[in-house]
A = this chain, B = another copy of it.
Amino acid sequence: MSDLNLDWNREKRQRLPEIVYGEGKSVEQLRRILDAFADKGKPVFVTRLQEEKVAELEVELGSYDSVGRTLWVPDGKGMPAREGSVALVFAGTSDLPVVNEAERVLAYLGISSKAYGDVGVAGIHRIHEVIEAISGHDVVMVFAGFEGALASVVAGLIGKPIIGVPTSVGYGVTAKGEVALKSMLGSCANGLLTVNIDNGTGAALAAARILGI
């Protein structure tokens, strides 16, 4: 059964390179995808890739980030740097896997970013300390699990494009991130945009679309 039908012209159509979704793909399927990209002399980026599979894939040291679970095999030429930068604001250490995923996809797309961490609303003075620095970026991502209130607060403070990224951090009623997501969607703060739970990649691609204007 033919199961490999890559979308080689996405880059032209959308100005966004192909990113491979790793979950549910076998090592053998991934191997064939990596080879296909190598044959074309293109870089490849894989998300949601479990560490066990990476060992079997025998990729170069440093190409895999075990926190964000992303693999990036460059093509030697590198991506041309894009203008603009992104602030990655996150509530707590447990959000780091999603923050890392976004950060690395941004780098792959040639976009610089800076992280502002541990600024949860339980100690709101910490947000005030960094809000000016945050508002100096062109796009702001806010990562938060639990009740996701951080996105509302940041969106109320600055006027830049804001992408809320709900994370699946929490327990009891906030388990799996649906409350954080709905808090961001239903925020009183105007103009807050949202992506799927734990979708660092989607947030990064959306930022690229915005910066591409």
Kindly report which residue of chain B lies nearest to residue A15, judged by CB atoms.
B159
Q: Decide if A55 is an interface residue (CB 8 Å cutoff).
A: no
Which of B91, B182, B205 is A173 in contact with, Cβ under 8 Å? B182
Kindly report which residue of chain B lies nearest to residue A125, judged by CB atoms.
B9
Which of B138, B190, B197 is A172 in contact with, Cβ under 8 Å? B197
Q: Decide if A39 is an interface residue (CB 8 Å cutoff).
A: no
The docked-state distance in angstroms from the alpha carbon of A105 to that of B130 is: 31
Q: Decide if A174 is an interface residue (CB 8 Å cutoff).
A: yes
Kindly report which residue of chain B lies nearest to residue A191, judged by CB atoms.
B205
Residue-wise interface mask of A (1-18) relative to B, using a CB-CB cutoff of 8 A (1 in contact, 0 not): 111111101100111100
- Interface, chain A (partner B; CB < 8 A): 1-7, 9-10, 13-16, 19, 21, 23-25, 29, 48, 84, 91-94, 96, 99-100, 103, 115, 117-126, 138, 146-149, 152-153, 155-163, 166, 168-174, 177-179, 181-199, 201-202, 204-206, 208-213
Contact present for A182 and B174 (CB under 8 Å): yes
Contact present for A159 and B13 (CB under 8 Å): yes
* Known contacts A161-B210, A173-B181, A192-B195, then 14 further A-B pairs from the complex at CB < 8 Å, ordered by chain A residue: A5-B117, A6-B118, A14-B157, A21-B94, A23-B171, A121-B189, A124-B156, A147-B186, A149-B183, A153-B153, A160-B212, A168-B172, A170-B186, A185-B196
Contact present for B208 and A122 (CB under 8 Å): no
5 A-B pairs, CB-CB below 8 angstroms?
A84-B213, A91-B188, A160-B209, A161-B209, A191-B204
Minimal beta-carbon separation of A36 from chain B (angstroms)? 12
Contact present for B124 and A186 (CB under 8 Å): no
Given contacts A23-B171, A149-B121, contact A193 B126 (CB under 8 A): no
Q: Which of A21, A177, A186, A199 has the most CB of B within 10 A?
A: A186
Minimal beta-carbon separation of A211 from chain B (angstroms)? 8
Which of B5, B24, B92, B122 is A119 in contact with, Cβ under 8 Å? B5
